[in-house]
Amino acid sequence: MKRIALNTFGPWAVITGASSGIGEEFARQLAASGLHLVLVARRLKALNTLGSELTRAYGISTRVVELDLTTNDALEKLSEATRDLDIGLLISNAGAMLAGDFLSLDYEALRRDLRLNVQTHLDLTYHFGSRLAQRGHGGLLLVASTTGLQGVPFAAEYGAAKAYVLSLGEALHVEFQRMGVHVTVLSPGATDTPMITVSGFDPATMPMKPMTTRQCVSEGLAALAANRAVHIPGYFNRLLATMLPRSLATSMYGNMMRQTITKRSVPPKDILQAMR
Ligand SMILES: NC(=O)c1ccc[n+]([C@@H]2O[C@H](COP(=O)([O-])OP(=O)(O)OC[C@H]3O[C@@H](n4cnc5c(N)ncnc54)[C@H](OP(=O)(O)O)[C@@H]3O)[C@@H](O)[C@H]2O)c1
């Protein structure tokens, strides 16, 4: 578990997608550092349960914001819900993957995911980035993915969206340096969260065992504290990302995704409903 400096990144952090997986683990590790937390997602009950648990365990304050980030007024609502708080850190983590043959996927669902996976990062980094620039310290951590390093057949929108997040964060890392604000892109490989199973993967048959959220997040927070532009957690993930030629990586992802969607018993639309 990585602890980060309260006087640099506190007193409050906003975490999107805090109701499960990587976002939930960010909440746990930041709470252990003593940061107060704004927990954002659609599932209110999960957020309330997590908030109460972290308040009991660490004596921190939490504010729960039930929000669908794909709605038109999402930024306005989040801005209003956090106006009175001194925010030192944004963890822009919420994301979703639609896996399947491109043309078999629902077009409106693809557009919603694009909005979540791309526009939300732009909106939140602009909004909280302006607040952090004014106070002259703090951090923005954007969660991308190693899928953003090349095209990903059968998850084409997802991979392309993550390429956007990677590029956005890399650029902002340079721009925000002069304002004293850390910007880090965390690009995990396969990580053990509900996203893996909901997308149809069987962790037992994946070529590499998914990483724990604990390792993924503690590496991410260490990279943020050190103000690294991009961090891929896990030695093997880093090795693959640097050694594999892009075209080979695309075909490797394509094979893995094709096998997954062929084997899975639940069609994409039902998977999508399970995620909502
Ligand atoms: N797991 C992996 O292998 C992996 C690898 C690389 C990158 N990532 C990235 O890591 C991030 C977290 O994913 P995860 O693996 O932790 O998956 P997860 O457990 O499914 O978590 C996704 C989070 O995003 C939230 N979310 C989804 N749609 C939303 C919406 N419309 N509005 C608000 N919140 C929404 C979900 O909350 P609600 O459902 O309650 O709204 C949930 O808290 C994502 O950006 C993902 O792309 C994951």
> What is the atom index within ligand 1 of the atom nearest the CA of 42?
41
- Give every residue of the chain whose pLDDT is below 50, as ranges: 270-272, 274-276
* CATH architecture of the domain with range 6-275: 3-Layer(aba) Sandwich (3.40)
- Measure 178 CA to ligand 1 centroid, in angstroms: 31
Q: What pLDDT, on the 0 to 100 scale, is given for residue 272?
A: 44
Residue of minimum CA distance from atom 41 in ligand 1: 42
Phi and psi torsions of 4, nearest 5°: -120, 165
Q: What pLDDT, on the 0 to 100 scale, is given for residue 275?
A: 42
**Is 203 touching ligand 1 by the criterion CB < 6 Å?**
no
The residues assigned a catalytic role are 158
**Is 193 touching ligand 1 by the criterion CB < 6 Å?**
yes
Q: What pLDDT, on the 0 to 100 scale, is given for residue 276?
A: 46
Tens of pLDDT, residues 178-205: 999 999 999 999 999 999 888 877 777 7
Q: What pLDDT, on the 0 to 100 scale, is given for residue 265?
A: 54
Q: What pLDDT, on the 0 to 100 scale, is given for residue 204?
A: 74
Residue of minimum CA distance from atom 43 in ligand 1: 17
Q: How far apart are CA 241 and CA 149, in angstroms?
A: 8
**Is 143 touching ligand 1 by the criterion CB < 6 Å?**
yes
Residues composing the chain? 276
**Is 69 touching ligand 1 by the criterion CB < 6 Å?**
yes
Q: How far apart are CA 66 and CA 58, in angstroms?
A: 22
Residue of minimum CA distance from atom 23 in ligand 1: 17
Q: How far apart are CA 59 and CA 46, in angstroms?
A: 19
Residue of minimum CA distance from atom 17 in ligand 1: 195
Q: Is the pTM of this model over 0.85?
A: yes
Q: How far apart are CA 179 and CA 73, in angstroms?
A: 28
